[in-house]
Each structure stands twice: as structure tokens, then as C-alpha cells.
Amino acid sequence: MIFKNFPLMVLALAAALFTSCGSSTPPIISKSSIGSGTGLLVRKETFDVPPVSGSVLASCAGKPRDKHSMPVYAFSDRNRIVRTTAYTCSESDHLIYGSKNATGTYLRYTDRVRSAAADWSFYPVGTTFRIKGLPYLYVVDDYGSALTGTGTIDLYKPSKEVMGQWGRRNVEVSIVQWGSMARSAELLSNRTQFVHCKTMLSNILRLRPDLGSVAAR
């Protein structure tokens, strides 16, 4: 009987090995079995983030604040203090999206590039940045309803364990390149049935009235 069912057992084992969070064929390995040797880091990490520099601390004096009492910056301010949180695709409010971000591509977590979520009227889709003390380049390719109206950036992590290791931190961020307001407006215009998407789009159009035609497509 064991040998008779052996092919079925092999298929089941193969399916278990290749199944990932929310997708049957993602270009990243399973969130529960991240290891070295594939461009991804091990599950346990050490985030050695240095304190915010004095000059960046001084620059936020007198700036308006969001609901978390964090400074709200102008787009000309590339170095800033940012409240960061962490999320993973196995959280209950992200299960329906699986391993995909808000642009429809896969969330990234490699030793060079990592995904992040933000309010796209604060950080337009495609915005790239670095966190002081860390070697990775982060790309805003996702958003979240809890982020709307704040400058908080949610950093994608591959598991709840790594998410918990990061927790919530105020860090120094340097903007490498701003993303596209036009692309943000285009994507959000098709999702206005969701309150947070409608709110982000309204804020983008307030900042960039010339994008009204893009949003109307």
C-alpha cells in the first residue's frame, strides 16, 4: 500500500515545497522557509540602525505634524525622520493579496531591494529610499489603509517573526529618487470604491491639479 501511494506522496511533498504565501508560482521562496543562498536573507536578522543625526533632528523643528506627532516634510526634504512599522503577507488583513503588492507585481525582500508601503500622496509609487545604517534600497510599491494621512512607512518583511523583530522604529531616511504622482493617480483612480484609495487620490490631485485628466481615464 505504501509503494502504491508513493507517487501521490511525492506530488504532495513537491506541492508543499513550492507553495508560497498567496501564490502558486511566485519568484520568491516560501515566507516560512527563507534561507541563505538564494539572494534572500535568513529569517532572523539584526537591524543595527544608528541614531538619527543631529542635523536631521534640528531640521524638523517647526514642521507640521501628522497624527503620530511625526514631522510632515516638503518634497524638497530628502533627509528626514520617519516612523516605520512592518508588515507581512501572512497577516489576516493581507491574506487576500498574497505575495503581490498594490501595483500587481510581487513583493520584494532580497539582500539588495525590499518593498515598502506608504500613503502615495506622501511617497508616490516608485519612490526609492535608504534607511541610515542599512544596506538595502527600499521601493514604495504598496499602500495600506492605516497609513493614509501619515508619513509612516510600512516595511515588508517575509514572516511574522522578522516583522516582530523590526516592530516600530523612528529612523533616518534618505530619499534616493521620488516616484511618480502620475502613476499613483492612474492606479488609484480605478480603486476609488476604497476609502483610503479615494483619499490618497484626492490628496494627490490637491497637490497636482494637472493630473485630473490622468485620474479621469
pLDDT for res 47: 80
Spatial separation of the C-alpha atoms in residues 114 and 141, rounded to whole Å: 10
pLDDT for res 92: 52
Residue ranges matching CATH 2.40.40.10 in the chain: 54-179
CATH number of 54-179: 2.40.40.10
pLDDT for res 46: 74
pLDDT for res 63: 96
The grid coordinates listed for 61 are 523643528
Spatial separation of the C-alpha atoms in residues 96 and 13, rounded to whole Å: 25
pLDDT for res 37: 30
Regions of the chain with pLDDT less than 70: 1-44, 90-98, 217
Question: How far apart, in Å, are the Cα atoms of 149 and each of 15, 98, 152, 180, 204?
Answer: 41, 25, 9, 18, 11
pLDDT for res 15: 37
Q: What are 122-176's pLDDT values in tens digits?
A: 999 999 999 999 999 999 999 999 999 999 999 999 998 999 999 999 999 999 9
pLDDT for res 12: 42
**Full-model pTM:** 0.78
